[in-house]
A = this chain, B = another copy of it.
């Protein structure tokens, strides 16, 4: 697909070949030069997805090699066997009952007092954040976010007319990832945790990466401390696969009925088929064991990318992530961000530009999110960083 194809309607191709796919996860720019309906970064992202041999450190995608394909296929076949076939039929707006039981059980193990009927299954974590944001929004509500935050949430707050600010002292609500932040891969400090809780404001707790902390099981969620004002968000996208689009929201109980009505108005329900597959899969597999393996897998990749960065780009500062998919790097020079990204793609490597993660979209100080998660082989981590280094030497 040509990057401009979306802006200029063209006759559909007659060939029925599968095109390359690319992430929507966290790379959508909030601002940028409009080029025929596509933002500049959006065009670069799509161009990158078209470039043969490109090594992508962009997008926050999980490793496709870790998708449990055979087991999911077996679950699919089993899920179709019931005569009334609920897997293919409409379902309840709150989601599959057994799946909600499983999610509630996981949260109870982490210290939260959660029952099955507190859980609302959503169309991915993004919808969960969206529903929560609509609940906490007032006219022009100020929402406190971390200095670098998940772009999909920042985009959303803007679309809802909310103002995201990284000053956390004077806000109406918070959006945070306490277990493990994105993009920094950092755990919220005990001090910050206490401070946020002490404000008594509503908190959207995005727990997307909580199960991928390298040092062990997911920590105690904020939900456990303040269930009356925490909107807890989770997802299977990072630990199983994003293509199912199954996430969940635990809203404060007093708002559950309102959230459910809003969810139903938006899209009736999360897709039945992925829920049915998941429910069967979780019943038959050892998910804890899977999480242990995934933590080892991503920790090994993180270490390898850290090593490559220290060797090839010794001037770049970064903090080794405590988990997740990415390293947040702060180089020692300040090139033009869009220009450097375009140059990097020319060199056969892509990344997520730092401005995407900032509430005000600032391009300075120059920074990059480098995802080690989704390259097809570990060696590509070395080669991708070498390409970045060559490009850096030319441009910066």
Contact = CB atoms under 8 A, between A and B. Distances in A.
A10 B126 CA distance: 27
Nearest to A277: B273
Contact of A86 (B21, B268, B274): B21
A272 B243 contact: yes
B268 A90 contact: no
A89 B243 contact: yes
Given A25-B90, A88-B69, A271 B244 contact: yes
Interface string A342-361: 00000000000000000000
A116 interface: yes
A28 interface: yes
B257 A243 contact: no
Contact of A117 (B5, B82, B122, B123): B5
A124 B69 contact: no
Interface residues of A, number: 95
Contacts of A265: 126, 130, 152, 155-156, 159-160
B77 A73 contact: yes
B98 A72 contact: no
A261 B21 contact: no
B90 A61 contact: yes
Identical subunits present: 2
Contacts of A11: 115-116
A67 B6 CA distance: 33
Contact of A267 (B5, B16, B245, B253): B245
B69 A80 contact: yes
| Residue of A17, A156, A242 with highest tally of chain B CB at under 10 A | A242
Interface in A221-273: 237, 241-245, 253, 256-257, 261-262, 264-273
A276 to B, nearest CB: 7
A23 interface: yes
A191 interface: no
B9 A97 contact: no
Interface stretch (A100-108, A173-181, A203-211, A294-302): A100-108
Given A155-B265, A267-B123, A24 B93 contact: yes
Contacts of A93: 24, 28
Interface in A47-105: 59, 61-62, 64, 67, 69, 72-73, 76-77, 80, 82-94, 97-98, 100-101, 104-105
A219 to B, nearest CB: 22
25 contacts: A10-B116, A12-B104, A12-B116, A13-B116, A18-B82, A21-B90, A24-B93, A59-B90, A62-B89, A69-B80, A69-B85, A76-B76, A83-B376, A88-B243, A89-B242, A90-B237, A124-B267, A124-B268, A126-B266, A127-B266, A130-B266, A244-B272, A245-B270, A271-B274, A274-B274
Given A8-B117, A11-B115, A155-B264, 18 more contacts: A9-B116, A16-B283, A18-B86, A25-B90, A25-B268, A28-B261, A59-B90, A64-B83, A69-B85, A87-B243, A122-B267, A123-B271, A126-B267, A156-B266, A243-B271, A243-B272, A244-B273, A273-B273
Q: What are the 8 tightest A-B residue pairs by CB atom distance, in nearest-first order?
A: A243-B272, A12-B116, A12-B101, A88-B241, A245-B271, A9-B115, A88-B243, A21-B86
Interface of A: 1, 5-13, 16-25, 28, 37-38, 59, 61-62, 64, 67, 69, 72-73, 76-77, 80, 82-94, 97-98, 100-101, 104-105, 115-118, 122-124, 126-127, 130, 152, 155-156, 159-160, 237, 241-245, 253, 256-257, 261-262, 264-274, 276-277, 279, 283, 376
